Structure formats: structure tokens, C-alpha cells
Amino acid sequence: MIAKVSYHKGHAGLHRVTPMANVLLLVGFLAAVLVSPSILVKLGVFLLVIGLLVISGERVGSFLSKTRFVLLFGVVLFIAQAFSIREGNVLLSYGLVVTDSGLLAGAQMAFRFLVIFSSSVLFVLVTDPDRLAHSIEQIGIPYRYSFVLVLSLRFVPFFRKEYRAVRDAQQVRGINTSIRGFAGLLRSIRYTLFPVLVSGLTRVDSIAISMKGRCFGLYAKRTIAYKEHWQRADWIVLFLFCLLLATSVLARKYAWP
């Protein structure tokens, strides 16, 4: 499973960049792997994500440990595509046929999945949700929408914590928590999903009462604690964004390998 992935404060690399610049960089990563058909571009973008991860002070070993299940799923995608596509030159035909087109399609699928996931994780690790909300308000979007975004991000660790608490309580009471077969799935829904859902709805009700008591939404605009100002690091990220877009367009136009 995926270990805990959440924002933590840092002072290096993308931690020093404003949240909107990180949003642009994430859009550039997604555009590069979704628009460009080139396997070399996807490989280069994946290495760029890993490089920015290191520059931002994150440990590659910790990142791989947290996302090992997803990385394994990328390998499964590669194998499935390699064995399912029969077009192209045959490279292996001992029971299972493997072609060069199948290997290329598998690599395309695997790198597309890995870049989308790793760039999203990088964005979460280096972007402060509160600063992101302030940046969204600063560009003119109503603060109600930015609050919904921050609240959604805050609820992810809450549900993870509640899930672990419910699972621990089940194990103490001797309830089988493994999901094996349809009966195990139904048991997991009954003893895990329902308690976590009820706990989440209770927390939502408490937040709604608190917001109502503080007259949230009474005014059309709200004051911002601090404004984000672009610095040199932000312009470097903007340059990377433009470079990713230009590379993806050129790779698609000239059919780069």
C-alpha cells in the first residue's frame, strides 16, 4: 500500500517556490506525458521529477519506499502491455509472444503512469495547502472554493488516521481484517468502511457548525495573511513549464522516438 504522503515544511528546491508556480510545473509534467508520444520525452520527464525531488531535499529511498506498491503496478502495466500487443517484429516466441511494438507500448504506458503519479506526489510534498489557498484567492478566485480545496487536502490524513484506528480496534477485538473473497470484502465494508464514514461525517458536521458560528461566507472578500511574490526560483519553474510544453509539442509534431 502507499505510505503516508503529505506536505512537510522545507527550505530547498521547490519548497521555496510559490504554490501557483508548482501548479504550473505539475501541469507541464502532465502535458508532457499526455501530449507527447515520445518514450524519450517521458523518460526525461521522469528523471526530471526525480531530480527535482532530490533538489527539494527529499530522499529518493524514502520516496521509493512510500510508493513501492505503485511502482510495482507500473511494472505490471509494462508486462501486460508487452504480452498483449502482437504487432511488430517478434523478439520472443517461447509460449508468449513479445514484440518490439509491445515493449514500446508497455514502456509508454508505464512511464506515463509513473510520471503522473510521481509528479503528483512531488506537488503534494512541496506545496503548503494554506499557501495554495492564499495564492488561489490572490488571483481572484473566491475564497469559498479555496477553502474547499484546503479542507479536502486536510481530510486525506484524517481518513488515513481513522482507518488505522478502526483496523487496530478490529484486531484487538479478534475480528479478521483480511480481504479474501467476496465475504471478506463485505466484512471489511461493514466493520471498516462504515465506521470510518460515520466518523468522517461527524467531523464534517462539527466543521460546518464551527463555520456557521464564525459567519463563514458573510463577506464577499476576506483579508489575506500574506501575499505571494514571485522570485527568481519561480521564474526558473516558469521556464521549465514553457520548456516542457515546447518539448511535448515538438515531439508530437516531428514524431520523436
Please write the tens of the pLDDT for every residue from 76-135.
888 888 888 878 777 777 767 788 788 888 888 888 888 998 898 888 888 888 788 788
| 125 residue type, one letter | L
Tens digits of per-residue pLDDT, 161-193?
787 888 888 778 777 666 666 666 677 777 777
Average pLDDT over residues 157-161: 76
Tens digits of per-residue pLDDT, 203-240?
888 888 888 887 877 777 777 767 778 888 899 999 99
Tell me the pLDDT band of 5, cut-offs 50, 70 and 90.
Answer: low
Torsion sign across C-alpha atoms 127, 130, 132, 134: negative
Number of neighbours of residue 232 by Cβ within 10 angstroms: 8
The enclosing H or E element of 73 equals helix 68-84
- Look at 15-24, 50-59, 155-164, 175-184 and tell me which has the smallest mean pLDDT: 175-184
First to last CA, the chain: 34
Q: What span, in angstroms and rounded, lies between the C-alpha atoms of 77 and 106? A: 7
Residue 1 confidence (pLDDT) above 60: no
Q: Which segments within 151-246 are labelled E, that is strand?
A: none
Quickly tell me which residue has 511494438 as its cell.
101
Predicted pLDDT of residue 239: 94
Of residues 60 and 17, more confidently modeled: 17
The enclosing H or E element of 41 equals helix 39-55
Beta bridge partners of 92: 98
Share of the chain above pLDDT 70, in %: 91
Predicted pLDDT of residue 29: 93
User: Contact, 158 vs 203, CB < 8 A?
Assistant: yes
Confidence (pTM): 0.75
Predicted pLDDT of residue 90: 77
Q: What span, in angstroms and rounded, lies between the C-alpha atoms of 18 and 132? A: 8
| 1 residue type, one letter | M
- Look at 24-33, 156-165, 181-190, 241-250 and tell me which has the smallest mean pLDDT: 181-190
